[in-house]
Structure 1
Amino acid sequence: MEKNNGYTRNFGSIKDLGDPLPWTEGVANIYEHIAWYTATVLGVTKTTFWKTILEWNDDPALTGLTLDQRVQAIKTRLQEEVNRNEAKDRYDKLGSTIAKPYECLRRQRFFSEDYLNKEFDLFLSLASDQYVSALYGQIYGRDFTGAWSVHGNGGRFQVSTLYEMQMDNIAYNRDCHRLVANELKLGGKKNRDQILKYARLFQTLLDRALVPDDTEFHLLFISDQEGDPDWDMEIDGEIDHIRRVGRNGQKRLVDPEVIELARRVPKAFLTWHQLINFNEEWMSHLKPEQSVEKKLLSGFNQTLGEKYYLRSRQGVS
C-alpha cells in the first residue's frame, strides 16, 4: 500500500476509466517498463549483470591490481562481451546475453511482445474514435459509437485496479458503455489463466466504480497465429489449471461469479495480418485532410510487417 500511495502521490490514479488521458501516457509506460525490466537495455536482468561483474572481479588474474586497473580490465572484458554478442543480421537468433544498446533494441523491436504492446498503446490512443468503433464493430458485429479512452499496462492503471494483474491494453467507451480488453500475442500462446484474469479485472472495475454497472465487457485476442478457439473449453482448462496448481492469489479467479462472467463475455480472435488488412481498407477511404490518420495506420502496418514472427509466417526470410 505504501508503494501504491507513493505512486499515486507523484502520478495520480484513475477515478473513472472514461476520463481522457493524454497519448503521452503511453510514453510514460514505455519508460516505466524500461526502468523495471532492465534486460531491455542491458540484454540481461540487472541481477545477472551485477553477478557477472562480481564474478569477473574475482578472476585470479586481477589479484594485486589497483581499483582503477580492475575497472579498466573489467571494462575491456565487457566491451569484448558485447562485441561478441552483437547480431550480424536483423533476424538472427535471440540470445540472453549482455549486449550493446543497438543489439538490445534489435531484440525488442523485432521479437518482443512487450515492445509491440507499447507500440499498440500509442497507436490505439492516437487512432480516431471512428476507426476504433469501426474496428470493433467489424469484429463483434455490433455498432460502436462515441469517444474511446485507451489504457496501457502502467503503474497508474495497476494501482487503481489490481496491482498484480498484468494486462495489455483496454479501450473504454463511456458513451456506449462498452469496454474492450485487447490481449496481444507475438510468438506466444494464451496464458493458462488469462480469460479468468480479465473477468476478475472487469469485476474489480465494477466494484471500484471505475465503470458503470451497465458496462458491456468484450475480450479480444490479437495474435500472429491463426486460431478459432473453443472458448468454453479454454475456460474449463483454466479452471482445472488453477484448481490444481494455482497459488493462493489465483484462487479468486475460480470464484463462481468470475467463472460466470468469463463464460458470458463476448470473445473474439484476430490475427495481426487481419488487422493489417483492415487498416489498408480503412486507409483507402481516407480523405486528403485525414493524412495524419493515414500516417498513423501506415506506420503501424509497417512496424507490424517488420516483426520476426509475422514475417516468418509469411515465409519471408
Structure 2
Amino acid sequence: MKATEKYRRVFGSMSHLKESMPWTMGLSNIVEFLVWEPQRILGVSKKQYVRQIIEWATAPELKDKEVEEIESIVSKKLNHKMSESEQLETYSKQTMGICSAREAVRRITFFSEEYLNKELDIFLSLCSDNYLDQFYGQFMRFEQGASWSTHGNSGIFEASTELKAMYMDNLAYNHQSNLLVANELKFNGRKNPDQLLKYCLMYEHLLEKGFIDKGAKFLLLFIGGSALESNKQCLVDRELALCHKRPKKYQYLLRQELLDIVDCLEVASITWQSLIEFNNCYLAENSLCQVEQKLLQGFNQSLQSKSFMHLSR
C-alpha cells in the first residue's frame, strides 16, 4: 500500500477544492510540520542528534561504566550543548547545534517561514467570506458574495491530489466565482526562479484531477517583505530564459499547455506591512463580531512580532 493510500485510509481525503476543511486541521498541520522536520525541535537533524548521543555514549572513557552513570554523563553533555546554543534576546541570530525547547520555540515563532505558513492557514480558514472578498478584490475582479474554502499544504491535500511536482503554501478557492488563488508566502525572501511556471503546473494537475472546475480564473498572490515586480511578462520571460538555458532539467515546464495557462494567470503581490494595514482598515470600516475582531488583531500582532519586521529595519 502506497504512503498516500495509507494516509487517506487513516485521515480521509477530499475530492474537490470547494470542500471546506475544519480550521482545527491547521493545528494538525503544525504537528505534521514538526514531526516531519524534527530538526526544528532538536536544532539538528535526527540523524545528527542520534549520532552525537552514540558518540558520547561510546567514548573510550565510558567503556566500563554502568548504564546509569553513562546516562548521567550524556545528559550533562546534552544540557551543556543546549545551554551553549540558547539565545536570550528575541531576535538574536540563530546558532547552530542542538538546542533547548525554549530556543526551538524562539526560532520557530520568530524566524520560521514554514510556521508562518501554518499560522496563515489557520487565519484564512477562520476569515469571513466578506473579508476574503475584499482582500482578493484588491487584485482582480470576480463575483463576490459566495463562499470560500481554503487549504494549506496539509497531508490530506498532498494525499488527495497526489501533487508531487511542487509544494504550494496555501490555496483559496471560490467555487461559485470559479476562482483559484494561490497564496505564496515569502518570509523576507525572493520569488523562486521557476515559481510562476511551477504554479501553472499545479493548476494543470488540479484541473486534470477534477479538484477545480474548467475555466477557473487563477491568481498567484505573493505575500512577502517587499512587493514583487508588477510586469508579469518580464517575470515569465526570465523564467522561460532559465528553462531554455537548462532544457534537460526544465523541459517539463516548456510545454505549450503550460504556456497557455501562463497567458491566463494573474500575478500580484502585497507586503506583510500592507496586509497589516489592510486588516486595520477592515477593522475600522466594517461592523465585525468580536471573534473576527480578535482574529484580525491577533494575526496582526503575530506578524508584527516576526523577525523580518525588526531585523530588516
Tell me if TM exceeds 0.5: yes
Runs of 4+ in 1 over 6 A off after TM superposition: none
Q: 1:219-242 deviations in whole A, cap 9, x for unaligned?
A: 100001233243323223333434
Structure 2's unaligned 5+ residue stretches are none
Q: How does 1:163-178 map to 2 (within 5 A)?
A: 163-178=164-179
The equivalent of 1:151 in structure 2 is: 151
CA distance in 2, matches of 1:96, 1:128: 41
The equivalent of 2:71 in structure 1 is: 71
**1:177–1:214 contact (8 Å) kept in structure 2:** yes
Q: 1:23-46 deviations in whole A, cap 9, x for unaligned?
A: 111111111111100012111211
TM-score, normalised by the number of residues in structure 2: 0.94
Partner SS, residue 137 of structure 2: helix
Is it true that 1:252 corresponds to 2:252 in the alignment? Answer: yes
- Taking a change above 3 Å as real, the CA distance of residues 58 and 232 of structure 1, as seen in their structure-2 partners, is farther
TM-score, normalised by the number of residues in structure 1: 0.93
The equivalent of 1:224 in structure 2 is: 225
CA distance in 2, matches of 1:159, 1:240: 33
**2:117–2:185 contact (8 Å) kept in structure 1:** yes
What is the letter of the counterpart of residue 292 of structure 2?
E
The equivalent of 1:21 in structure 2 is: 21
**1:145–1:176 contact (8 Å) kept in structure 2:** no
Deviation at 1:85, TM superposition (A): 1.0
**1:14–1:160 contact (8 Å) kept in structure 2:** yes
Give identity over the alignment, percent: 36
Partner SS, residue 90 of structure 2: coil
What is the letter of the counterpart of residue 226 of structure 2?
Q
- Taking a change above 3 Å as real, the CA distance of residues 247 and 2 of structure 1, as seen in their structure-2 partners, is farther
Instruction: Provide the alpha-carbon RMSD of the alignment.
Output: 1.8
CA distance in 1, matches of 2:245, 2:61: 51
Q: How does 1:48-197 map to 2 (within 5 A)?
A: 48-161=48-161, 162-197=163-198
Partner SS, residue 284 of structure 1: helix
Structure 1's unaligned 5+ residue stretches are none
- How many residue pairs get aligned? The number is 312
Deviation at 1:148, TM superposition (A): 0.5
**1:232–1:263 contact (8 Å) kept in structure 2:** no
Deviation larger for 219-228 or 298-307: 219-228
